[in-house]
Amino acid sequence: MELSYDEIRRIHRLEKNSTRLASVEQEFYNFLDEFISSEKKTYLDSLKDFSSTRSRDFTNLKKMVEEIFALREKKILNYALVTSRTGEEDDINMASQEKKLFRELVASIKKHNRVLEEIFADPSGGKKGAPEKDLNNLSVEILSDVPGFVGTDMKEYGPFEKGSVVRLPLKIAKLLSERKLAEVKT
């Protein structure tokens, strides 16, 4: 496929007038890169000849391509958001670079949605008598032996052995982590 001004205008018009992505080739951005490189060379030559028409054409082309990119980007973001909620993946009409972006966005949004799932998760896992989930405590792995100490909350902690995993209040976990004595577990 070879791109032309007319084809870019057609894609631009479709992107502006539809909520769906305009159909493009898998290698659309590679073709676009070749076309822009060719047009840029012509544009730079026109500057030497003081041709305002070619200069204006290239400026218009640049604006159109930037708008196509922004519109497609916004639509892909919306598709990713919908897909993360519905699970129905639809990467039709996307160029290969866009498909990669789409999959990464869906994965990131799904990962982010787990925060909400954890907040509403049944802490007992269906078991009676299980401890309540406490978002103010963190699991940390102890990186070196730590003797017993009194924390900022005036409670005693430790001693902890290297390699053990313990749940500590956020402030205490942060303090040990900053001093390279513990590493927060996710």
Q: Domain spans of the chain?
A: 5-120, 137-184
Let me know: does 5 contact 56? Beta carbons within 8 Å. no
Pick the CATH number of 5-120 from 2.40.50.140, 1.20.58.1030, 1.20.120.1770, 3.60.150.10: 1.20.58.1030
pLDDT of residue 129: 45
Q: What is the pTM (predicted TM-score) of this model? A: 0.61
pLDDT of residue 130: 43
CA–CA separation, 74 and 86 (whole Å): 18
Mean of pLDDT values over 149-173: 87
CA–CA separation, 23 and 15 (whole Å): 9
Tens digits of per-residue pLDDT, 56-97?
888 899 999 999 999 999 999 999 999 888 888 877 889 999
Decide yes or no: CATH 2.60.40.10 for domain 137-184: no
CA–CA separation, 19 and 181 (whole Å): 53
pLDDT of residue 120: 78
Q: Is a pLDDT exceeding 50 seen at residue 24?
A: yes
Mean pLDDT taken over the chain: 85
CA–CA separation, 35 and 68 (whole Å): 15
